[in-house]
Amino acid sequence: MRTPVFFLVSLAVGLALFFIARQYGNDYIFFAGYTVLQFIVLATAWNILGGYCGYVNFGSAAFFAMGAYTTVALTKFPNFANRYLPESIAWLAQGITYMPIPVFMLLGGLIAGLVGLGTGYLTLRLRGVFFAIATLALAVVLQTLIVNWDYVGGSRGAYVIRPATVPLIGNYVEYLFLLMMVLSVIALTVARGIERSQLGYGFATIRDDELAAEASGVPTLRLKLVATTLSGAFMGMAGAPFPYYIGFLEPSSAFGLAYAVNSIAMPMIGGTTSWVGPLLGAVLLGSLQQYATVTISSAVSLLVVGLLLVGFVIIAPNGIVGLFQKFVRHKEEPEIPLHDPAEETP
């Protein structure tokens, strides 16, 4: 299937789901569905860097929060301009009030993408582990910055007033759901497109043997920076509508470790080698968490995610997709035993 066709088909599937869900007339479906879609974007974005290039990002929450706080900063600006800035600027600033959420998403994506680029540029020239550690620390530092930044509410948090309705669609939650649906279709299309392009092959060479790739003339640093920027930008875009969804944003919820864990666990459990994995993982784990949060408690649902992550990386390193492929292969042909590198060298 060609990329534009894939885009249209998945968009159609998404819209069909949207209209089916609308028949039920139940807001909760959209509330829960939004979270699952958000995780599809996060997991796919993580996988562009983690699955395709083999670089682990522990700071998904930081990129997500960058997007969310871009929205908060923008919505606070008209008020701020009214109070402190000359009238002409204040008048211009009122325009922000009328900006639609997709604009916020683009800006949030831009900021998060730039942060990704910067972090990548400073750490990706070294061993991969340092990048992973830097992203972990990045989350802590950005949180410190936000906590100390009174303009966006500091540690007290910030309210974002959500309009009750939007023209054409009506219910606001349905509108947010629709936006996130389109974003996840875009993210999946981009991920699938990368897999089949030269870029994807370049990423795969980095994952398999970076030194050999470098030696064969693959511009590894540039490719890695493309991946970090793209991955960060999608996470930021996923975060931008979040303040509208939740209504009240505070640093500890925006930077919650749950985002970081989920965006690693979902691709790992689904399978990291293709776009299907993150999708599968996000739908399964996302729904499971929604269910467990409602019936048991949110802490228990997170525990389940953590245990599944540990279990899967030990037992099924290629995730559900890998298990499936193994099953299919077993049926078709007997597996040739691979030689164990550990036996050769101590």
Partner 1 sequence: MDFPVELLINALIAGILLGGFYAAVTVGVSISFGILDIVNIAHPAFIILGSYIAYIASSRLGLDPILVSILALPAFYYLGAAIYQVYYVSFEKRGQEALRGLAFFFGLLFVTEVVLILVFGVDYRYVSAPYIDETIRIGMFDLPLRMLIPFIISMLLLGGLQLYLTRTYTGRAIMAVAQDQFALQLMAADPIRIKRIAFGISIATASIAGALLIVIQPVEPSVGREYIGRVFAICVLGGLGSLPGTVIGALLLGIMESLTSTFYGPSWAPAVAFGFLLLTLAFRPAGIMGR
Where does this chain touch partner 1 (CB under 8 A) — which range of 63-71, 187-195, 265-273, 327-335? Answer: 265-273
296 touches partner 1 by CB under 8 A: no
Tokens 């990002």 -> residue: 57
Query: Interface mask (CB under 8 A) for partner 1, residues 49-88, using x and -?
Result: -x---x-x-x------------------------------
Among 9, 12, 16, 126, binds partner 1 (CB under 8 A): 126
Where does this chain touch partner 1 (CB under 8 A) — which range of 2-10, 11-19, 103-111, 136-144? Answer: 136-144
Helical packing angle, 220-239 and 198-208, nearest 10°: 110
Among 307, 326, 329, 330, binds partner 1 (CB under 8 A): 307
Distances 242 to 92, 167, 194, 246, 258 between C-alpha atoms, Å: 25, 20, 27, 6, 15
Nearer residue to partner 1 within complex by CB, 30 or 275: 275
Residue numbers 173-232 binding partner 1 by CB under 8 A = none
Element (H, E) at 16: helix 3-24
Taking the complex as a whole, how short is the minimal distance between the CB of residue 260 and partner 1, in angstroms? Answer: 8
294 touches partner 1 by CB under 8 A: no
Among 208, 299, 329, 330, binds partner 1 (CB under 8 A): 299
Distances 219 to 62, 148, 216, 222 between C-alpha atoms, Å: 27, 39, 9, 6
Where does this chain touch partner 1 (CB under 8 A) — which range of 18-26, 80-88, 94-102, 130-138? Answer: 130-138
Coil vs helix vs strand at 170? strand
Among 70, 75, 123, 205, binds partner 1 (CB under 8 A): 123
Query: Computed from CA positions of residues 111, 115, 118, 120, in that sequence, does the dihedral angle turn out positive or negative?
Result: negative
- With CA atoms as reference, report the closest residue to 235 among 42, 47, 34, 38: 42
Residues 6 or more apart in contact with residue 57 via CB below 8 angstroms: 46, 49, 50, 63, 131, 132, 135, 228, 231, 263
322 touches partner 1 by CB under 8 A: no
Nearer residue to partner 1 within complex by CB, 143 or 228: 143
Q: Which amino acid is at 272?
A: T
Q: Please compute Rg for the chain using Cα positions.
A: 21
Where does this chain touch partner 1 (CB under 8 A) — which range of 17-25, 36-44, 277-285, 313-321? Answer: 313-321
Residue numbers 145-174 binding partner 1 by CB under 8 A = 145, 147-148
Structure tokens at 139: 């989350």
Whole-angstrom distance, CA of residue 52 vs CA of residue 224: 10
Residues that bind partner 1 (CB under 8 A): 50, 54, 56, 58, 122-123, 126, 128-130, 132-134, 136-138, 140-141, 143-145, 147-148, 257, 260-261, 264-265, 268, 272, 299-300, 302-303, 305-307, 309-310, 313-314, 317, 340-342, 345-346
